[in-house]
Structure 1
Amino acid sequence: MSASTPSEPLGAGASGAPADPPADPVPDHDVRAVLAITPFRRLWLALGLSSFGDWLGLLATTALAAALPQTPAAKLLAVSGVFILRLAPAVFFGPLAGVVADRLPRRWTLVYGDVLRFLLFCSIPLVGTLWWLYVATVLVEVVGLFWMPAKDATVPNLVPRRRLEAANQLSLVVTYGSAPLAAVAFSGLSLVSGMVDGVVPHFQGHPTYLALYVDALTYLVSAAVIWRLDFPEKVSHAERQESILRTAVEGWRYIGSTPLVRGLVLGMLGAFAAGGFVIGLAQSFVGALGAGPPGYGVLFGAVFVGMAAGMWIAPRLLAEFSRRRLFGLSIGAAGGWLVLMSLVPNIALAVFFTLGLGACAGAAWVTGYTLLGLEVGDDVRGRTFAFVQSMVRVVLISVLAIGPVVAAGFSKGLGLPHTVHLTDDVSLTYTGVMATFLLAGLIAMAIGLVAFRQMDDRPGVSLVTDLVQAMRQRHLHHPPARRDPYPGRFVVFEGGDGAGKSTQVRLLGEWLHEQGYRARLTHEPGATPVGHRLREVLLHGEPLTARAEALLFAADRAHHVESVVRPALEDGEIVVSDRFVDSSVAYQGSGRDLGTAEVAQLSRWATQGLTPDLTVVLDVEPHEGRSRRGDEHDRLESESDEFHGRIRERFLELARRAPSRYLVLDAALDPQHLHEQVVARLQGVLPESPVARAAREEREAREAAERAERAAREAAEREERERREAQEREQVERLRAEQEAREQAERAAREAVERQERERREAQERARAEQQAAELAAQQAADAARRRAEERSQAAQPLDRAPDQAADRLDQTIVQAPVDVTAPLPKVTAPPASTPARKPRRRSRRDPDVVALEDEIFGLGEQDDR
């Protein structure tokens, strides 16, 4: 295990302040630090309430769907229908909802989404029909498709970038961890409903109604919490999402050409298929066992408790076990638990079997997801994960649709249910659901076997021996002791002999010096005077036993860390080391076959848990490293290629287990290209360099001056704009006043003309009325005079012919000029005002007969008067 000779530390005497310590000394993944962020904590609580409501709603709706139909087959199909309708919207509308939700105001999307789900869940028991249950289920899922992207897009705006991963982990925990709580709550509410149905008739015969109302209430409380949450609205311009068809085509193309990924995807889909059979048929399963809704809730919760335990415990319990082997083994074990559940139909044992099934499924899921992230290239990783997510839903829908049909077919074809009496007091009843569980378990075991054979990375090593070795070594695995973060940073280069580590250490030291960092370059073994003597013993001295070699390397490392590395880190320097703990784990643990766990524990004790901030693994083939080293070899370099091959595999295995802290590079690339990749990765590890800080401060000062200049310019423009607007307003007001004055004058003139015209018409009407009245009075006076004259004539006329002739003439006169007193008066038009009134025309000549008649009448009258 050669290393470069000691180099002078670069930048030790350079000017410039040490690197600033982190502003927040709390580790990035500290849960309390993330929950201390008030906006995120409130959103997290709202997510917990909504997730609790989702699981409780799933339990309540499936239980209600099973209660509404009458026949067993209809009950199975109704429950499957609910599951299918909950998953179908995500398959068909998921990409569209993600794009639309990203363009909507996120706060209102979350609030309105919770309120709508509250109303929909309240409507299910109020309507109380199966068709509305289906409709409401689809609508709830569609609303959820908008709610979840809005929530996921909001989290990065509420927490610092360095704490985003911890925030996502908390979100995942509360999303799936609320399932067992919902199961317990559903069981309790089902029991309570039987106590209150006598008081509230609405609950009689419907034990799931109370759970539905409580479920609706959780969404209303979540909306109230988000309503009070004030977070920034940051709408991103999301890229166009591919369709399900295109995603499937791209995913199949990559999966078909990669055996490892093909095994991973096949195994993950198989695990979900097995779980789908359990979830889809659990209602009928517990019904056949006589457990009812409470038993269904317990069984449902056991699945998720087991999954959480498997995700958390399996990677720690089998830390040294191959992840590729663990994946296939977990799927096969899940199938075995399902077979046991089908063969022993007892509710107490079924809960135990379900816990084991969930634990194995959880271990398979977390292992498969991790391996996908490690093995799939970055250029196709997104499409592959999108394909897996889409296919998982398709598989679940298919299983939920096929499961009841298969169970019904087994019941009819095998004449189930069938009861087996073991003793007088013990009997087992087998139904079509149990037969379906048996078939699903056998399929899962076959899938696990296929995945194990495709992905086995330790051929020839007994599986049992491997498991025993991993269990024996697990007690040596302890996390490094927590320490306060150092102002400095620790970077380590690892890899086989001849990989070019010393070259990369030198290039990185030069770059750090150029950036103004204070750097300390070191190596193992031999960086101190004591270490130099140990190096001679280790690499060029007499042969040593494997354990003595491991102890001497640990002694050199303990002295190296205590005298060189830790003081430099505490002083704010960037320490770059050629080899560290991983070299002992690889060379002595795997190469010498001492056991990686024991060697790792020894190194942790020697370094007091010091862990590099970044470990760069330069991957080199054993024969390539041998050709690079030339003819001179120390005691470790002279080992066989098979020895160096085991070392290489151990380095890669360590990197696969902690990808966030490792960078694996192909040592065959150009050294300068490798250096550029290392520098690019260090951008997220190192504190800001003095050169970058000076450039930033200069840029910020320039930007501040530009902002001030821009602000002054904008202020001047704003003042000029306000002045122009004031002038425009004044001009508009003046024009408006002039317009109003003109309109008022015109209105006054019109009113005067109208008034004069009205007065003229009124005068004409009065004159016409007066003339008509005068004519009428004259006519009446004439009529009265004639009547009086007639009366006098008749009274005074002698009884001779003369009076008769006079009377005849008077009658003829009256007949010649009859007067119709009923006819309307003729319309008299008043003469124009300018025309003087015409005087009545005197008669020039009078009718002799009329004169004679008047003389006779009036003469007679005068005689009578006398």
Structure 2
Amino acid sequence: MSASLPGPPEAPAEQAVDAGLPASALEPPDHDIRAVLAITPFRRLWLALGLSSLGDWLGLLATTALASTLADTSSGKLLAVSGVFILRLAPAVLFGPLAGVVADRLSRRLVLVYGDVLRFVLFCTIPLVGTLWWLYVATVLVEIVGLFWMPAKDATVPNLVPRKRLEAANQLSLVVTYGSAPVAALLFAGLTLASGVLDGVWSHLEGNPTYLAMYANALTFLVSALVIWRLDFPQTTNHTAKQESILRTAVEGWKYIGSTPLVRGLVLGMLGAFAAGGLVIGLAPAFVSALGAGSPGYGTLFAAVFLGMALGMWLAPRLLAEFSRRRLFGLSIAAAGCWLILLSAIPNIALAVFFTIGLGSCAGAAWVTGYTLLGLEVGDDIRGRTFAFVQSMVRVVLISVLALGPIVAAGLSQLLNLPATLHINDDVSLTYTGVMATFLLAGFGAIAIGYVSYRQMDDRRGIPLVRDLAQAIAQRQLQDAPVRRAAYPGRFVAFEGGDGAGKSTQVRLLGEWLTEHGYTPLLTHEPGATEAGVKMREVLLHGGELTPRAEALLFAADRAHHVETVVRPALEAGEVVVTDRFSDSSVAYQGTGRDLGTAEVAQLSRWATQGLVPDLTIVLDVEPDIGRLRRDDQHDRLEQEPDEFHARVRERFLALARRAPSRYLVVDAALGPQQIHREVLDRLTALLPESATERAAREEREAAELAAREQAERDRQRHAEVEAQVIAERQARRRTEEAAREQARQQAQLEAAARAAAEQAEAAEAAARAAAERAAADRAAAAAAAERAAEEQAAREQAARERAARERAARERAAREEAARQDATQAAPAQTRPMRAVGGDQRPGAGDDATAPLPASATQPLPLEEEIFNLGEREQR
């Protein structure tokens, strides 16, 4: 960062580049939203948070609407919707502490990604199952997953953005968290209307207009998981011992919250702020009913709470940028209680909306301030448990408020005999109910909580609150600075701190170091660095009595002359200006110590210096009593002020450093001079330009490096030439070897071709021989077949002849037999022989003379075949 004049943030990076400096030389304000969104990891996480928040609100609307449709009776519908709300809040009691331990012990990136994926799956199952019992189960599971998701997200944000931009980052986070509610309502209405068009295409949606919204809600979580998966999380050191039990880890987190006054006050205040807003929402229906506003009044009051919260989150840190955040936290809670009292005291619907916006604004301011302070003050190793405890207790408080609010209101109505009407005049009357009495009681409770938080966290004790608030408002009004000028080529370093902190010693040590390293330093101080300044210093420190305003004007006059004649010319010449005190001393000593108002004194110094601010301000922090001991008996008019005066001055220096940590370095002045000097150099070396000595050394080093590179290049070329020659020879040998291998391969191919041709010729000859053999075999077989056929034909013919002969013989035999029978018939009477006696041969002719003549057929010779074929027959006969 270079010395420059403050002003509107038009193109700071371009101005820095034009001046030959890095783009970070001119930084945007700490609350600049564009600067926060320019941080890629945070921007992606913020988009994922927006999608998850949109899904949460859309899921709440869809689940309550679906619960109402799944119930049968009118009372059942009311109980179903109430059950959804209760089940969304109840798991925090059991799983809140465990969620904090998980956020501190496991990878937050994995917790966020898996949490979104699980919610995507659970919301998808609700319309797929389509029953009321699963709606309740899924609601509980979704809420449990959300309890793990939110602490991991809240604990991650402080690691993604610089400390000075954490408040703006929390503003964006909370705005997108609550600002997505109306967007979700519009989206829910649009999706339910679209469901009536799409149910003809997808029958699953028919009669279930909330299903499409449920699927869209699930999709938002899936997209959020994909965004976070691509996010690079910074590496952090987790000091939580892995071997510790979950219960012990959770108990240690609770002990830390209870034993740390700041954290305890933050948690107490945040719960009180949330309880105030929740009480209004829980009792709003009965409240507007008593005012005769009905449902429209309830909707208006509901919207007023969230509108006020958004305004408070967005505007409070900007309007009170110079006000202590610790004081702002307790003050916001107490102010919220005051708005609750007004809401209870004036029962008018128009004024009630106005009071509710004020209440929401104060609650939102307390909420964003508390989140920022928790992120800044709580270590990373315990931050997850802290945020989980806060979120769990918020849900417990909300459940308690929603459950006990109506009971308390009813009890107060009976106890105080309410409602009661107060007649102001004939035209104006005010009616008070138990709800209004509850608001009144809650308002006093919020004031008490705010007071306790304020007392535990006050970091500006001894400074009246009203005056401090007025100065912060005035500082806001006096922020118009001169137009920013181009950065100077030189650098401007200022040492600030209480008297006796050792500033002069550090200025001297830094000057010696700058000279040794080739810089041209200008060591100066205020007041009294010029001839005119010497005279003014005498008046200021050792002169007569001066009024505080005269003292402030004399310091401003000395500074104006000092800057115009010494500081600015040296910066324009490129020198490094190191001053012992500058504008912050006037703000601390005259603005706070003399109680003139830091805003007016700061504006006076800006006018005197034309807006010049140091590139780096080193605050040497010293306790007032230690500074007094270091000064011994040497006391000027300011040093002789009491320790209370120097305590206020010290606190102002620290407050200035807290508000712009990028331009300040706070060092404990109790350290040794050399150790302080080393810390200063560690921070300063990144801001200093290159000195002449460093430039000469760099040029010499670059020349040596260039010569070395050239020599290396020549060596490389020679080596490359040798290597190329070797490669060429290797390639020549490779080509020769490849040619020989190719020739051998071709010869082998020729030989293989010759062998193949010979084998083919042999195969052809073998085939011819086989064909001839097959032909000869075929001819022989044909001849044999013909011979067999001839033989068979001859045999058939012979058989036919023999058959014909047999038939002729048979015919002839038959003819002869016939003739014989006829002859026998004719000769029968003459040839009759007597029969043999009993016991003799009974056949005719038996016993007759053996010489009896035989028939002619018996003496006739038979043919050969007849003889053969009739042999058996004759034997039988």
TM-score by length of 1: 0.67
> What SS does the corresponding residue of 1:612 show, helix, strand or coil?
coil
Q: Cα offset for 1:563? A: 1.4
**C-alpha distance in 2, partners of 1:173/1:721?**
67
In the alignment, the residues of structure 2 paired with residue 81 and residue 256 of structure 1 have an alpha-carbon distance, to the nearest angstrom, of: 28
Q: How does 1:652-691 map to 2 (within 5 A)?
A: 652-689=654-691
Cα distance change of structure 1 residues 33 and 399 upon mapping to structure 2, 3 Å threshold: closer
- Distance apart, 1:674 and its partner CA: 0.7
Judge conservation of contact 1:194–1:207 (CA < 8 Å) in 2.
yes
How far is 1:499 from its partner? 1.4
2:651 is aligned to 649
Q: Secondary structure at the match of 1:490?
A: strand
Assess if the C-alpha contact under 8 Å between 1:118 and 1:219 holds in 2.
yes
Q: Deviations 1:570-616 (Å, cap 9, x if unpaired)?
A: 33322211011222222223333333333223222222222222222
Report what 2:479 is aligned to: 478
- SS of 2:21's equivalent in the other structure is coil
5+ long unaligned stretches in structure 2 = 1-17, 69-75, 423-427, 814-856, 873-877
TM-aligned CA distance change 1:344 to 1:692, over 3 Å? farther
Counterpart of 1:74? 80
Distance 2:392 2:268 in 1: 13
Please state how far the C-alpha of 1:501 moved relative to its aligned partner. 0.6
Q: Tell me the secondary structure at the aligned position of residue 605 of structure 1.
A: helix
**Contact 2:41-2:233 within 8 A present in 1 as well:** no
CA RMSD of aligned residues (A): 6.5
Unaligned runs of 5+ in 1: 1-18, 103-108, 814-866
Whole-Å separation in 2 of the counterparts to 1:36 and 1:328:
29
Equivalent in the alignment of 1:791 = 803
- 1:862 is aligned to none
> Contact between 1:480 and 1:610, CA under 8 Å: does it hold in 2?
no
User: Which whole-Å CA distance do the structure 2 matches of 1:129 and 1:343 have between them?
Assistant: 46
Where does residue 577 of structure 1 map in the other structure? Answer: 579
Return the alpha-carbon distance in structure 1 between the equivalents of residues 722 and 292 of structure 2.
81
How far 1:527 moved relative to its partner? 0.5
Shift of the alpha carbon at 1:675? 0.7
Most deviating of 573-582 and 656-665 = 656-665
Match of 2:20 in 1: 21
> Do residues 615 (structure 1) and 621 (structure 2) align?
no
Query: For residue 6 of structure 1, what is the aligned residue in structure 2?
Result: none
Deviation track 1:648-698 (CA, whole Å, cap 9, x = no partner) reads 333233333333332222222110011111111224433455556666677
Task: Specify which of 577, 600, 603 is matched with residue 601 of structure 1.
Answer: 603
What residue identity is the alignment partner of 1:784? R
- 1:151–1:385 Cα change, 3 Å: closer
TM superposition shift of 1:263: 2.5
Q: In structure 1, how many angstroms separate the alpha carbons of the residues matched to 2:799 and 2:224?
A: 108
- When residues 172 and 622 of structure 1 are mapped into structure 2, their CA distance, relative to the original with a 3 A threshold, is closer
CA distance, structure 2, for counterparts of residue 585 and residue 343 of structure 1: 43
Match for 1:62: what amino acid? L
Q: CA deviation at 1:544?
A: 2.1
Q: Give the SS at the match of 2:558.
A: helix
Q: Distance in 1 between matches of 2:268 and 2:32?
A: 39
Mapped to 1, the partners of 2:411 and 2:785 lie a distance apart of: 118
Write out aligned runs for 1:110-259 (5 A).
Answer: 131=134, 135=138, 175-178=173-176, 182-186=180-184, 188=186, 248=250, 251-252=253-254, 254-259=256-261
Which sits farther off after the overlay, 647-656 or 798-807?
798-807
Distance, in Å, in 2 between the alignment partners of 1:262 and 1:297 is 35
Q: Do the aligned residues in 2 keep the contact of 1:486 with 1:570 (CA within 8 Å)?
A: yes
Amino acid at match of 1:574: V
The aligned residue for residue 631 of structure 1 is 633
Question: Offset at 1:319?
Answer: 5.7
Q: Give the letter aligned to residue 66 of structure 1.
A: T
Whichever residue aligns with residue 809 of structure 1, its letter is I
User: Which position in structure 2 is the counterpart of 1:828?
Assistant: none
- Check whether the contact 2:109–2:233 (CA below 8 A) recurs between aligned residues: no
Q: Deviations over 1:360-387 (max 9, x none)?
A: 233324434554566x4xxx72224333
Select which of 99, 103, 108 maps to 1:98: 108
Contact 2:48/2:224 (8 A) holds in 1:
yes
Identity across matched positions, percent: 49
Among 490, 494, 501, the residue aligned to 2:496? 494
Distance 1:717 1:151 in 2: 63
Alpha-carbon distance, 1:446 to partner: 4.8
1:31-50 to structure 2, matched below 5 A, reads none
Residue 359 (structure 1) shift? 2.3
8 Å CA contact retained: 2:806, 2:865: no
2:100–2:151 Cα contact (<8 Å) kept: no
Q: What does residue 6 of structure 2 align with?
A: none
Deviation per residue, 1:48-81 (Å, 9 max, x gap): 8765544443333212222223343331221344
1:406 and 1:190, CA in 2 relative to 1: closer, same or farther beyond 3 A? Answer: same
**Contact 1:489-1:569 at 8 Å conserved across structures:** yes
CA distance in 1, matches of 2:684, 2:330: 36
* CA distance in 2: counterparts of 1:132 and 1:274, whole angstroms: 30
- Corresponding residue number in structure 2 for 1:557: 559
The 3-state SS of whatever aligns with 1:686 is coil
Q: Does the CA-based 8 Å contact 1:273-1:395 persist in structure 2?
A: no
Distance 1:350 1:84, change over 3 A: farther
TM-score (norm 2): 0.66
Query: Which position in structure 1 is the counterpart of 2:519?
Result: 517
Residue correspondence of structure 1 range 801-840 to structure 2 within 5 A: 803=862, 806-807=865-866, 809=868
Number of the residue aligned with 1:106: none
Distance in 1 between residues matched to 2:158 and 2:738, nearest whole Å: 51
Three-state SS of the structure 1 residue aligned to 2:108 is helix
* Contact preservation (8 Å) 1:53, 1:215: no
Deviations 1:510-545 (A, max 9, x none): 222233333221100001111011111212222222
Q: Does the C-alpha gap of structure 1 residues 274 and 624 become closer, same or farther in structure 2, counting only changes over 3 Å? A: same
Secondary structure of the 2:379 match is helix
Q: Aligned letter for 2:660?
A: A
Task: Report the equivalent of 1:393.
Answer: 391
Instruction: Select which of 532, 535, 539 maps to 1:533.
Output: 535
Shift in alpha-carbon separation, 1:83–1:147, aligned structure 2, 3 A: closer
Map of 2:831 onto structure 1: none
Distance 1:764 1:288 in 2: 124
Tell me the residue number matched to 2:547. Answer: 545
SS of the counterpart of 1:638?
coil
Change (3 A) 1:302 1:610: farther
1:763 and 1:457, CA in 2 relative to 1: closer, same or farther beyond 3 A? same
Which protein has the larger Cα radius of gyration, Structure 1 or Structure 2?
Answer: 2
Question: Is 1:58 aligned with 2:65?
Answer: no
Task: Give the whole-Å Cα distance in 2 for the aligned partners of 1:559 and 1:252.
Answer: 57
Contact 1:531–1:560 (CA<8 Å) still a contact in 2? yes
| CA distance in structure 2 between the partners assigned to 1:384 and 1:461 by the alignment | 33
Is contact 2:100-2:148 (8 Å) kept?
no
**Per the alignment, do residues 610 and 372 of structure 1 end up closer, same or farther by CA in structure 2, a change over 3 Å counting?**
farther
Distance 1:577 1:780 in 2: 146
CA distance in 1, matches of 2:452, 2:21: 49
- CA 1:592–1:748: 2 relative to 1, 3 Å: farther
Letter in 2 for 1:75: V
SS at match of 1:615: strand
Which residue in the other structure is 1:846 paired with? none
Which digits, 9 at most, give the CA deviation of each residue in 1:254-306, with x for residues without a partner?
Answer: 54554334333443455456667778999999999999999888667655543
Q: Give the number of aligned pairs.
A: 764
Q: Paired residue for 2:823?
A: none
